[in-house]
């Protein structure tokens, strides 16, 4: 591990785009490290996701930690503080919005992580020693934080010196275009293509406004499925719209404590195809009953039906978190489906218990069919094939 390098005081200071690129390069390198580590950890697990080679798993994580430290030293160590300073300057100039306090807390957390990493880089442990492994392992949460959230700092730094968007339409033009777009929406000819949030917290949506077999790209401000949205611009194509509309800010997250680069350990997974195989290979009612009960098992090693219900519930939370009219409607549909899965789960559980209580086995006349046929002896003459039936010739 090498000490953190910093630009010379009399050297040229990096520009905001260069600072942002440093964070992006680190995230890309971390994505590669994450994929390689997951592949290595997969080799240490059994088919249910349980670690069976603890030593190899520990070695894979140690290699990950060291590679991440080296990536930070190469890409971010010289620029982290300047990047955060540039991001804070832009943040201070943004209009008031609900997300600014959260963004400021993220930048403060990144600064604290950068300070921890810098202290370790300035006082590295002996290469290859257990102390170095422990030092790298302690740094991993801070490195993961930069990989997960450094994009916020780079996005803000990219906006440094950017021009503020000005509405290209007069009030009369805006009202006229909004009425045309609303009429097209009622006809089903307002085709939404892309959506993002501007720095002021308002959603911007691009759409094709179709009229008489002709289409125009328009930009809408507000929720297109709610009342009160307006057209704020019309353009020849999407590229032109992207040049003049407010730049997209980083989208939010469903749960604030989720990290792509610092996932919790996997829980054992009950595969549906394994349960089907257990039923096919079973011979007693208890075999089929146990497979069904495994499908509806709750808790740490939950079965597939419980996981499906969890997926529906989580997706419903996501749809609701969109805070749009359509998102709330879809969330209600998913909640109803989740309740149906819960009902089916109880039905399957009762049927499984009834099946197990039958105390029955498959009847012996259901005999297996051998796949491997016995080969004839070497000196055995193969049987004479039956004569082919002569087919009378067809006459036209």
Radius of gyration of the CA atoms of the chain, in A: 31
Indicate the range of 208-217, 243-252, 268-277, 377-386 predicted with least confidence: 377-386
State the Cα–Cα distance between residues 266 and 61, nearest whole angstrom: 15
Q: 371: which residues sit within 8 A by CB, 6+ positions away? A: none
Q: Are 205 and 194 in contact (CB under 8 A)?
A: yes
Task: Give per-residue pLDDT as tens, 160-202.
Answer: 765 455 557 888 999 999 999 999 999 999 999 999 999 888 9
Task: Report residue 290 as tokens.
Answer: 């146990």
Task: Give per-residue pLDDT as tens, 66-114.
Answer: 999 999 999 999 999 999 999 999 999 998 999 999 999 999 999 999 9
Task: Give per-residue pLDDT as tens, 119-135.
Answer: 999 999 999 999 999 99
- Residues written for the chain: 396
Q: Rounded mean pLDDT of 234-258?
A: 90
CB burial string 23-48: b at 16+ within 10 A, e below = beebbebbeebbeebeebbeebeeee
Alpha-carbon distances, residue 5 vs 23, 113, 122, 184, 236 (angstroms) = 16, 17, 9, 58, 48
């Amino acid at each position: 591990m090498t000490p953190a390098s910093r630009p010379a005081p009399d050297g040229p200071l990096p520009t905001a785009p260069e600072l942002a690129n440093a964070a992006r390069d680190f995230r890309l390198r971390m994505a590669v490290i994450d994929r390689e580590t997951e592949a290595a950890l997969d080799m240490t697990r059994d088919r249910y996701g349980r670690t069976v080679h603890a030593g190899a798993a520990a070695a894979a994580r140690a290699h990950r930690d060291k590679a991440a430290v080296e990536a930070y030293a190469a890409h971010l160590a010289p620029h982290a503080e300047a990047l955060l300073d540039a991001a804070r300057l832009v943040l201070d100039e943004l209009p008031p919005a609900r997300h600014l306090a959260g963004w400021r807390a993220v930048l403060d957390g990144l600064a604290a992580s950068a300070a921890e990493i810098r202290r370790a880089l300035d006082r590295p442990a002996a290469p290859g020693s257990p102390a170095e492994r422990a030092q790298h392992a302690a740094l991993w949460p801070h490195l993961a934080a930069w990989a997960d959230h450094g994009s916020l700092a780079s996005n803000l730094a990219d906006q440094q010196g950017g021009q503020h968007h000005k509405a290209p339409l007069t009030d009369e033009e805006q009202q006229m275009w909004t009425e045309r777009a609303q009429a097209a929406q009622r006809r089903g000819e307002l085709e939404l293509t892309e959506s993002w949030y501007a720095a002021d917290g308002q959603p911007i949506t691009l759409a094709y406004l179709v009229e008489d077999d002709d289409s125009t790209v328009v930009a809408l401000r507000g929720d297109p499925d709610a009342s009160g949205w307006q057209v704020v611009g019309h353009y020849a194509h999407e590229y032109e719209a992207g040049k003049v509309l407010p730049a997209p800010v980083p989208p939010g997250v469903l749960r604030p404590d989720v990290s792509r680069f610092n996932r919790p350990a996997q829980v054992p997974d009950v595969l549906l195809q394994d349960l089907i195989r257990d039923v096919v290979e079973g011979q007693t009612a208890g075999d089929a009953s146990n497979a069904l009960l495994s499908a509806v098992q709750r808790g740490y090693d939950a079965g597939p039906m419980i996981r499906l219900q969890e997926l529906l519930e989580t997706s419903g939370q996501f749809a609701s978190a969109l805070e749009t009219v359509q998102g709330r409607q879809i969330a209600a549909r998913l909640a109803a489906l989740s309740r149906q899965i819960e009902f089916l789960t109880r039905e399957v559980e009762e049927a499984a218990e009834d099946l197990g209580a039958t105390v029955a086995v498959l009847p012996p006349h259901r005999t297996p069919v051998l796949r491997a046929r016995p080969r004839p002896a070497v000196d055995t003459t193969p049987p004479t094939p039956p004569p082919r039936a002569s087919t009378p010739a067809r006459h036209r």
